[in-house]
Structure 1
Amino acid sequence: MGVELKKPWLKHYPEEVPTTIDYDKRTLQSFLVENAENFPDKVAIHFMGKDITFSEVADSAKRFASYLQELGIEKDDRVGIMLPNTPQSVIAYYGTLLAGGIVVQTNPLYTERELSYQMKDSGAKVLVCLDILLPRVNAIKEETNLNHVVTTRIKDYLPFPKNMIQPMLQKREYGMVVKPEHGGDTHVWTTMLEEASDEYVEHNIDPEEDLALLQYTGGTTGYPKGVMLTHFNLVSNTQMSEKWLYKTEFGKETILGILPFFHVYGMTTVMNMSIMMAQKMILIPKFDVDNVLKAIDSQRPTLFPGAPTIYIGLLNHPKLNKYDLSSIEACISGSAPLPVEVQEQFESVTGGRLVEGYGLTETSPVTHSNFVWQNRRSGTIGVPWPDTDASVFDPNTHDELEIGEVGEIGVKGPQVMKGYWKRPEETDQVLQDGWFFTGDMGYMDEEGFFYIVDRKKDMIIAGGFNIYPREVEEILYEHESIQEAVVAGIPDPYRGETVKAYIVLKDGAELTEDDLDQFCRKNLAAFKVPKLYEFRDELPKTAVGKILRRKLVDEEKEKMQAEHAE
């Protein structure tokens, strides 16, 4: 009874979901090697019309590992991967781990400045990138530890005739063609794999202590920090995911890979899940609604991890009803709050289940989720996953708060990071007695379900009132004309901050500020109603579709500074 009182959520667990798991204390790469031996001809990757088997992925990963070791990569050396979702991104990831290296995932959209910072901070010696990114990489190479750059092309894994057409499309989109030559410190992917042996030196790796990954946080507060994730952190979170989705069967699922693998959410729930569970993953390098709908219609994925903006984009496609989405059985939405209307509409269209989850880079990433098939609730991030403890703390004193009180959410479990790379003081601020303090404000109800009210740093204080943007956004999403909305606190000389809403309307919809003001006043206390509205064609987002609230706030500050200067 004591455990149930302390963890009231456990009584809601379906009998199929274990409260504790006997995790494999193995390296991530061992799953690829094992499944390639057991299921050599099973399709591991479907990429734009081409199928690649587990044995082919494993063979290429071994060759990549061998080549890295020839270049001088030793145990714990860092290797950067700057790729969209392509076969190369999977092969380079597991090849780096086979070589004993630590993966540093890098966003292909990074500017020279962002890339330089990350390469310098991580100390990466090798970087894998697309050919069109080579000029950007070469521009910063000398100021980093990078000794070698491996370049690859989207077309390298495309079937005929797509492999002939793609370079023309690339030239049209980017206005350039880059043709790297293999030699010196530049290595061409296809030549490299042809030249490499599949013999590599296996290092002795402790899954619980040795790092698999340096995953940089988004950097919404100061410089991005490298999150140190061990093999065990990532294996345990993937195995939690498998147990949570208890209706899934080993080797029989197809997972849609829209979420980028350079983000830990896509890496765990698509790539690592597929490799560990011998599933097929459908790789989509760039979110394009038409291509995603066609892929679902033709490839029949059963699992579809995503973010609210992805589901919203699909639901608002004018020809949605021409595609068969009925293969989808389960989706866990993360990265941002999931509006109830989106959940209900998506479930009615697919016949599958879409639930909200929660996690952070520092937790590999998932800590909470709603139950997929039973005991479901809307408007909550759900309950902690197996072996995961969570509580709510006073953000200043870290004293545990009572049920229903709003405070900072803390989590504890095998998926919690080892710490921040080369930042012991910042690690000590967020990791205390095994608890990781998330920076997210929320509360737990009597049944053990958790609710996020907002980021600690996103809370708006206007005229002495605490206003949580998420609450206002939930109301805005209820309006039938609104496709996307985000609320931010912008500087106000009188109230300290004032509430501003940024709105993207559905195609063909018309809405005025007065209409919105009246709508909000019916549903919100007066002090929470936005004082300003701005209609936009689109909102700034991260690669996983998370709306960048801080970017909008920074834009407002710059605008005010410019006006003041005049």
Structure 2
Amino acid sequence: MEAKPWLKLYPESIPTTLDYEEKPVQTYLTEAARKYPDKVAVHFMGKEMTYRQVYESALRLSNYLISIGIKKGDRVAIMLPNSPQGVISYYGILYAGGIVVQTNPLYTERELEYQINDSRAKAIISLDILYPRISKVLKHTKLDHVIITAIKDYLPFPKNLLYPFIQKKQTGIVVQLKHEGNIHLFKKIMSVSQPEPHRIEFDFENDLALLQYTGGTTGHPKGVMLTHKNLIANATACDAWLYNAKKGEEKILGLLPFFHVYGMTTVLILAVMQGYKMILLPKFEVETTLKTIHKQRPTIFPGAPTIYIGLLNHPDLSKYDLTSIESCISGSAPLPIEVQQKFEEVTGGKLVEGYGLTESSPVTHANFIYGKERVKGSIGVPWPDTDAKIISAETGEEAAPNEIGEIVVKGPQVMKGYWNRPDDTAETLKDGWLYTGDMGYMDEEGYFYVVDRKKDMIIAGGFNIYPREVEDVLYEHPDIQELVVVGVPDAYRGETVKAFIVLKDGSNITEKELDEFARKNLAAYKVPKIYEFRKELPKTAVGKILRRVLVEEERKKQEETKILE
């Protein structure tokens, strides 16, 4: 097969290979503060900070971390929503020579304890309302220090005075802590520490910047080791893909959480690298997001399909002006073509589907944003300096065009390995190739397609059924807002197809009508045998539907039925 046929598809404005500046991630903040000192770097609920202010705050934090014993290579956890403190903490840890451990604020005590112990983090930076949870795991970990901030610390007047009352009403949690012992207050650190730069030597190629934990759908989450080179390579490629974007001028909506690698690379790193304004939202609320877009006029909006779906289905969508949006890359889940088309109609911008995984920092493929139409159903083509191929499950060799196999990728964004898991690393990384666990194919032109996760494939009566194919068809029905298809145990077929569906408001479509629609568009063996209507589906913080949760629910139902019998 011709090597890298997709390169012929590249527009002239995208280089097929890129130059990567061999410097640590935090250097880009230093440079942004020099180039754009008075430009707004962060907007958060009415509060704005310039690049100079963010830079100096990150230096204050880094010096404080060093003063309490954080050394190069030590892990420091961040357990924060998107906020100015999240930006400052990320770069402050890197300036101190530390390795960032991004931690989901929604973690339970058990999940938090596992991640802190697995990473052997020495400190954690978190919110006051999360301290009760942290305090319960402290004695079971090696944490030496806890740094606490509050949302109100970075709110403008009078919101900073009102927010504690709102927070108490919403959560019932009131935390009063003093800056003493191993408890440190973020606000106090900013007043007592100096913004003096210091020199720490970095190995661009090998030094870790981040331990990013995978979702852990099977077994315990694994810490993905991402180097400074991995992250810079992916952000540089993202910039090359967005070649119409203007340095120092774009405004990027920071809705994807920074504790997810997609939000971290495409917002937290890319924005600083290019001098963009970050418009941060601590969580996805449809109306708040619409109001923010209407008022703040972001031009770039990385997101996930469920986010775009949520916005498009808001009853008052027409009241908001979304036409500032020019470029969006959707990730983390398949993007239905109907969602793309409607979103582009509403905004006048471009929305395309990309593909990646935590182990690749995360992006490896995307459709072209400018000049070319998205190829229906395709995740696009590999990014600059990224190689990809399909490995046949039957032969273990490279598959022919349009033959389904496992997608494997290679490139400068591919992880160093899994933290303290050499066996898992050896199983996933082979001769520099990352085995993704996703099944797909490449067409003759070089466009790639994902048919499903290897583990999600349904085998019913001997037939291989890929949930995504069924989902793509059902998404074409105008009454469906969200759905997910899973395989459930079946005494006769081994497995059968079940669809969990969220209908649009006002819809009263029946199971029979959906079944008729599916039968017109799918082979009989692929048609769902069971439909379950729900008000909502379980999701990750980034909006990815948790298929495994639904599979586990079904498994438990089956077990309970057997017990009753």
TM-score if structure 1 supplies the norm length? 0.98
| Rounded Cα–Cα distance in structure 2 between residues aligned with 1:34 and 1:336 | 34
Q: Give deviations 1:242-284, integer Å, cap 9, x for gaps.
A: 0101000110100000000000000000110111111100000
Q: 1:139 to 1:397 in 2, by over 3 A?
A: farther
1:556 aligned to 2:559? Answer: no
Q: What is the identity, as a one-letter code, of the residue corresponding to 2:285?
A: D
Per the alignment, residue 98 of structure 1 pairs with: 95
- Match for residue 389 of structure 1 among 365, 376, 387: 387
- The farther-off stretch of 188-197 and 411-420 is 188-197
1:26 aligned to 2:23? Answer: yes
Per the alignment, residue 522 of structure 2 pairs with: 524
Q: Give deviations 1:115-162, integer Å, cap 9, x for gaps.
A: 000000000000011101001011011111111111111111111121
Per the alignment, residue 260 of structure 1 pairs with: 257
Q: Which runs of 5+ in 2 are unaligned?
A: none
Does the Cα contact within 8 Å between 2:79 and 2:103 map onto a contact in 1? yes
1:229 aligned to 2:216? Answer: no
Q: Give deviations 1:361-406, integer Å, cap 9, x for gaps.
A: 0000000000011232221000000000000002466321111110
| Rounded Cα–Cα distance in structure 2 between residues aligned with 1:302 and 1:522 | 40
1:181 aligned to 2:188? Answer: no
Per the alignment, residue 145 of structure 2 pairs with: 148
Per the alignment, residue 482 of structure 1 pairs with: 480
| Rounded Cα–Cα distance in structure 2 between residues aligned with 1:358 and 1:251 | 27
Per the alignment, residue 420 of structure 1 pairs with: 418
Q: Which runs of 5+ in 1 are unaligned?
A: none
Does the Cα contact within 8 Å between 1:99 and 1:202 map onto a contact in 2? no
Aligned residues: 563
Does the Cα contact within 8 Å between 1:12 and 1:375 map onto a contact in 2? no
| Rounded Cα–Cα distance in structure 1 between residues aligned with 2:560 and 2:167 | 38
- 2:288 is paired with a residue whose SS is helix
Alignment of 1:205-220 (within 5 A): 205-220=202-217
Pairwise CA RMSD of aligned residues? 1.0
| Rounded Cα–Cα distance in structure 1 between residues aligned with 2:23 and 2:393 | 36
- Match for residue 33 of structure 2 among 22, 33, 36: 36
Per the alignment, residue 403 of structure 1 pairs with: 401
- 1:142 is paired with a residue whose SS is helix
- 1:443 is paired with a residue whose SS is strand
Per the alignment, residue 445 of structure 1 pairs with: 443
Per the alignment, residue 290 of structure 1 pairs with: 287
Per the alignment, residue 117 of structure 2 pairs with: 120
Q: What is the identity, as a one-letter code, of the residue corresponding to 1:433?
A: D
| Rounded Cα–Cα distance in structure 2 between residues aligned with 1:202 and 1:550 | 46
- 2:456 is paired with a residue whose SS is coil
Q: Give deviations 1:181-215, integer Å, cap 9, x for gaps.
A: 21111111101211112235422111111000000
| Rounded Cα–Cα distance in structure 2 between residues aligned with 1:196 and 1:496 | 63
Task: Tell me how far 1:46 sits from its aligned partner.
Answer: 0.5
- 2:181 is paired with a residue whose SS is coil
TM-score if structure 2 supplies the norm length? 0.98
- 2:413 is paired with a residue whose SS is coil
Task: Tell me how far 1:171 sits from its aligned partner.
Answer: 1.3
| Rounded Cα–Cα distance in structure 1 between residues aligned with 2:250 and 2:68 | 37
Q: 1:158 to 1:396 in 2, by over 3 A?
A: farther
Does the Cα contact within 8 Å between 1:61 and 1:98 map onto a contact in 2? yes
Q: Give deviations 1:445-466, integer Å, cap 9, x for gaps.
A: 0000000000000000111110
Q: What is the identity, as a one-letter code, of the residue corresponding to 1:474?
A: D
| Rounded Cα–Cα distance in structure 2 between residues aligned with 1:202 and 1:115 | 32
List, as ranges, runs of 4+ consecutive aligned residues in structure 1 with deviation greater than 6 Å.
none
Does the Cα contact within 8 Å between 2:123 and 2:146 map onto a contact in 1? yes
| Rounded Cα–Cα distance in structure 2 between residues aligned with 1:409 and 1:40 | 43
- Match for residue 163 of structure 1 among 160, 163, 181: 160
Does the Cα contact within 8 Å between 2:36 and 2:248 map onto a contact in 1? no
Alignment of 1:241-320 (within 5 A): 241-320=238-317
Does the Cα contact within 8 Å between 1:462 and 1:495 map onto a contact in 2? yes
1:46 aligned to 2:39? Answer: no
Task: Tell me how far 1:555 sits from its aligned partner.
Answer: 0.7
Task: Tell me how far 1:165 sits from its aligned partner.
Answer: 1.9
| Rounded Cα–Cα distance in structure 2 between residues aligned with 1:432 and 1:560 | 38
- 1:457 is paired with a residue whose SS is helix
Does the Cα contact within 8 Å between 1:99 and 1:200 map onto a contact in 2? no
| Rounded Cα–Cα distance in structure 2 between residues aligned with 1:458 and 1:172 | 42
1:368 aligned to 2:365? Answer: yes
| Rounded Cα–Cα distance in structure 2 between residues aligned with 1:36 and 1:421 | 33
